[in-house]
């Protein structure tokens, strides 16, 4: 493991007091505006053909790292870095600090900018490998990058991005990698819109590279641009304020207002309010992935959309693939209990209430879902597709220096056995005639 101590770009005197702002090149240094490091400006000893950056010191990063498929080099004041890392539960603009970022693909610089940096996430904020959110603010002199410039598919421009810490220890003890990207690949195969992601090596303040995942941040502003509607309402299903709002303005209040008691909630009428194709695709995605946290995702209301206005976007599948500690069946019953167990009480999780109601009362919905499952099992999430997907991420693990790959065989076992497990369960709970 290599390390390199990069000098802090902030000039301090005495007990860490900042000096007045000064000019480095043509950029205001210190203060609110993120700076170009003086060391990065001195490029006279850079090897010919080697990537150079105006914002970070790429000379500190070995060629063997810079040449990886995707690399992010991030620099920020070390005291400010320690401040946000030591207070991961703090949120909001007050806990954002300025820094500088450079994105590279196969050794070529594709984007560089000043950025604002915060710790990102829910409970994952308190894990050792913390996720970071980058803000490309005009007040910092930043330009929003395009998808291709930061290693993502698509043609969006980003005001924010997430560098996801990715390692999940709650799968039985082994550090599991790339849970979200693998799950998103399966979800997209099933027709669910998800965030674009890409494995990346993160070099933070000259330290040894860590395997992270660059991910879109599904903010309301991004979704409005991508979906082409300025009238979207977006709800983060993890956010307490949004969950409270859904008690009075979500799909359940609309169903009650339009259809009255649940006895009138037929498949056809519910489908006028909620996109049932989308809901069924989401359910298939969490069933095949074995996602244990079923309250994840983003709920969207688009009044400009033809047909039903409410639909879900896949997000935060990082508690998927059961428990990867050899107890592969430990979560097998979770989804069937969630779908076919006791009727839910007074809650705002519309997916559970709608699905339980339709599975219980609507034979057309049961038959439709059975057909969808068979198509997904036999034509979409096939053994060949799973092998190709897992092989892609095994190669990514090797490319980004991951050496503990014990999780890979367990993930393969879990996903390979999953279709047969689901078939047996749905024959019991849905229809005995399931092929």
Query: In this structure, are 284 and 392 located in the same domain?
Result: yes
At which residue do the structure tokens 């390390």 appear? 3
Asked if 125 and 242 sit in the same domain, the reply is no
Beta carbons of 120 and 132 less than 8 angstroms apart: yes
Three-state DSSP at 21 gives: coil
Determine, yes or no, domain membership for 196: no
Which of 149, 165, 181 terminates a domain? The answer is 165
Q: Which helix (H) or strand (E) holds 416?
A: helix 406-429
Whether 45 maps to a domain, the answer reads yes
Closest CA to 180 of 282, 294, 314: 314
Number of domains in the chain: 2
**Structural domain includes residue 223:** no
DSSP state at residue 382 = -
pLDDT the model gives residue 365:
97
**Core vs surface per residue 278-316: b (16+ CB within 10 A) or e:** bbbbbbbbbbbbbbbebebbbbbbbeebeebbbbbbbbb
In this structure, is residue 6 part of a structural domain? no
pLDDT at 311: 97
Q: Are residues 260 and 382 in the same domain?
A: yes
In this structure, are 322 and 420 located in the same domain? yes
Structure letter (DSSP) for residue 250:
S
Sheet with 310-313: strands ordered across: 233-236, 298-301, 310-313
* Cross-strand bridge partners of residue 313: 298
Give the Cα separation of 425 and 429 in Å (integer): 6
Q: What is the pLDDT of residue 176?
A: 86
For the chain (435 residues), the mean pLDDT of every run of 10, in chain order, is 36 33 30 38 57 92 96 95 85 91 97 95 79 95 95 95 83 79 97 97 95 95 93 91 91 96 96 98 96 89 96 91 59 81 68 94 97 98 98 97 92 92 93 91
Q: Please tell me whether residues 414 and 334 are part of one structural domain.
A: yes
Quote the pLDDT of residue 36.
Answer: 39
Same domain, 237 and 362: yes
**Inside any domain, residue 22:** yes
Last residue of a domain, one of 147, 165, 183: 165
Tell me if 381 is assigned to some domain. yes
Do both 306 and 157 map to the same domain? Answer: no
Residue 392 shares a structural domain with residue 267: yes
Are 137 and 237 part of one and the same domain? no
Q: Which run of H or of E encompasses 259? A: helix 251-259
Backbone angles phi, psi at 211, to 5 degrees: -75, 120
pTM value? 0.86
Q: Which of 120, 150, 165 is at the close of a domain?
A: 165
Using CA atoms, how far apart are residues 422 and 291, in angstroms rounded to an integer? 13
Contacts of 386 (CB under 8 A, 6+ apart): 186, 412, 415, 416
Range of the domain at 347: 228-429
Does residue 307 share a domain with residue 404? yes
Based on the fold, state whether residues 254 and 327 are members of the same structural domain. Answer: yes
210 inside domain: no
Co-location of 130 and 271 in the same domain: no
402 is a domain residue = yes
């Amino acid at each position: 493991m290599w390390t390199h101590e990069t000098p802090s770009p902030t000039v301090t005197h005495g007990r860490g007091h900042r000096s007045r702002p000064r000019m480095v090149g043509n950029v205001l240094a210190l203060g609110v505006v993120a700076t170009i490091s003086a060391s990065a400006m001195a490029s006279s000893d850079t090897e010919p053909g080697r990537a150079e950056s105006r914002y970070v010191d790429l000379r500190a990063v070995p060629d063997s790292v810079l040449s990886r498929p995707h690399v992010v080099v991030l620099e920020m004041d070390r005291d400010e870095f320690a401040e946000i890392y030591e207070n991961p539960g703090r949120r909001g603009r007050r806990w954002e600090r300025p820094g500088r970022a450079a994105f590279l693909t196969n050794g070529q610089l594709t984007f560089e900018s000043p950025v604002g940096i915060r710790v990102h996430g829910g409970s994952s904020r308190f894990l050792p490998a913390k996720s970071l959110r980058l803000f490309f603010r005009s007040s910092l002199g930043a330009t929003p990058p395009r998808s291709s410039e930061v290693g993502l598919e698509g043609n969006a421009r980003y005001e924010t991005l997430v560098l996801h810490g990715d390692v999940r220890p709650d799968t039985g003890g082994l550090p599991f990698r790339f849970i979200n990207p693998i799950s998103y690949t399966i979800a997209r195969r099933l027709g669910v819109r998800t965030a674009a992601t890409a494995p990346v090596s993160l070099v933070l303040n000259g330290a040894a590279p860590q395997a992270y995942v660059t991910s879109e941040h599904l903010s309301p502003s991004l979704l409005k641009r991508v979906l082409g509607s300025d009238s979207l309402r977006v709800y983060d299903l993890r956010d307490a304020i949004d969950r409270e709002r859904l008690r009075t303005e979500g799909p359940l209040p609309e169903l009650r207002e339009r259809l009255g008691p649940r006895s009138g909630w037929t498949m056809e009428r519910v489908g006028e309010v909620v996109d049932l194709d989308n809901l069924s695709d989401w359910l298939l995605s969490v069933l095949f992935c074995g996602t244990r946290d079923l309250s994840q995702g983003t709920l969207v209301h688009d009044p400009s959309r033809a047909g039903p206005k409410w639909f879900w976007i896949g997000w935060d599948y990082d508690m998927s693939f059961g428990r990867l500690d050899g107890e592969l069946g430990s979560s097998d019953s979770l989804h069937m209990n969630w779908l076919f167990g006791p009727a839910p009480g007074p809650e705002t999780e519309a997916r559970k209430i709608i699905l339980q109601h339709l599975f219980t009362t609507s034979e057309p919905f049961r038959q439709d879902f059975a057909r969808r499952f068979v198509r997904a099992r036999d034509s979409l999430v096939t053994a060949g597709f799973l092998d190709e997907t897992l092989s892609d991420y095994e190669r990514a693990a090797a490319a980004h220096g991951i050496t503990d790959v014990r999780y890979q065989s367990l993930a393969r076992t879990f996903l390979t056995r999953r279709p047969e497990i689901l078939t047996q369960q749905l024959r019991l709970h849905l229809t005995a005639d399931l092929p």
